[in-house]
Structure 1
């Protein structure tokens, strides 16, 4: 070399490195190179290991196979999920399980219990309330506490009871924080479950108690104006009535409610 420091051309060095890689050299240890592709049990074209192989970018995910359509947003919305789950319920037990498994409503996260229903099924009278309160959330049953006791006394006056001929549920199965009024979105999201609930119980008459229940079943508000006026919802006669909790706050309205109870009795007895 005539005393001058020899220098390797970069292109030649690159070619030598690639040749060594092709020969199986990946680790600069040992006195002799190892042809890893020639080792027993190594299939032809096996993936190379070592720092050079690790530096290579991973293969891209080819994505969905041809013909696989990703689910649209409308098919995965909470309302769509609720509609499918409710439609699949073949019994009240199925419906309760579907509600318990439903994760689309944020109210579930803050509630103690799922408040599904109480009473007897099938039943001639199905009462639909608004949403669970503190007592209902604690016990897991609708219409308990003072409002529930008042309701039981009201029904007893016309020969009805949840033990014999009345079925009770709510529009919402979970308690809203601080007993706030349910939102339109919450009502709409859980309406498929309520519709299926009515279908499975198959009552002769629906009694909608409170603004939230007539909003869900009739698309209207103004319970003080609509109470006592027979109408129809989900193919069945419906009677709007004041909620027992409202009567506890406004005892003077009990007179109007007594008239509504007599109207319900007359309807059931064909009078």
Structure 2
């Protein structure tokens, strides 16, 4: 059988591939050929007569080094700063304002905008995912892409919509290229989502996917073991019933698990009905 090569992708297909891979901006106006040979160095011209030596400059005195024990690691400082800032926010509006000004997380420098939350801040149910994606980064709202549309259908399946639910993420800024947030980035952002949950004070907390489940429910087990089970989430002033289920993005890749997710949603609806 003769091998028939696939046709080369056109410009539209290439752009779609780059967007799917998380490449959504350029770093230079012109492409750079990294494989090109470097330019030959300019020839050295030797003067016939020796030039006078340059004047000798005195070197400034070296600054004494600061002992490493007196330098606090940046992540620890950022985490402590996040905890202090989150505790000081009496309302969701002020918490959002603090996050807009917070400089302890480098993700804010690469994201387009802060993705704080969406929905009803007085809702009885709160959904928390991991981090915003490209669509969320553009619009400034959580779960607005394909995953968001599926989440809307999941919420509608138990008789609710975004006006009766509150939706947020552990990480409020999109990681570059949709990469996984680092443990340090998660720990820096954790006090803010914890305070957000405390201020919303829902009757039921739903963690979407493995990262948000492990972060908020303090478990190391995978989503297959944790989903569908009830946990106690302690805000310090109240214990909230919490359940983990699959992230909508995972369900888009593995639709066969939608049946399990439907079972989780039925249990959540029953808990809301009796509480």
What TM-score, normalized by structure 1, do the two folds share?
A: 0.71
Larger radius of gyration between Structure 1 and Structure 2: 1
Could you tell me how far apart the structure 1 residues matched to 2:168 and 2:152 are?
14
Could you tell me how far apart the structure 2 residues matched to 1:72 and 1:93 are?
34
Matches within 5 A, 1:54-133: 73=72, 77-133=77-133
Query: Structure 1: which 5+ residue stretches go unaligned?
Result: 1-70
Matches within 5 A, 1:254-269: 254-269=258-273
**1:212 aligns to what?**
211
> Offset of 1:224 from its aligned partner?
2.0
Residues 1:250 and 2:254 aligned together = yes
Could you tell me how far apart the structure 2 residues matched to 1:78 and 1:136 are?
25
- Point out 4+ residue stretches in structure 1 off by more than 3 angstroms: 71-76
> Offset of 1:74 from its aligned partner?
7.6
- 3-state DSSP class of the match of 1:174? coil
Q: Is the 8 A contact 1:92 1:200 kept in 2?
A: yes
Could you tell me how far apart the structure 1 residues matched to 2:98 and 2:71 are?
22
Matches within 5 A, 1:1-271: 73=72, 77-163=77-163, 165-221=164-220, 222-234=222-234, 235-270=239-274
Could you tell me how far apart the structure 2 residues matched to 1:244 and 1:149 are?
9
Q: Is the 8 A contact 1:228 1:239 kept in 2?
A: yes
- In the alignment of these two chains, the number of paired residues is 200
Query: Structure 2: which 5+ residue stretches go unaligned?
Result: 1-69
Q: Is the 8 A contact 1:133 1:179 kept in 2?
A: yes
> Offset of 1:73 from its aligned partner?
3.3
Could you tell me how far apart the structure 1 residues matched to 2:73 and 2:180 are?
27
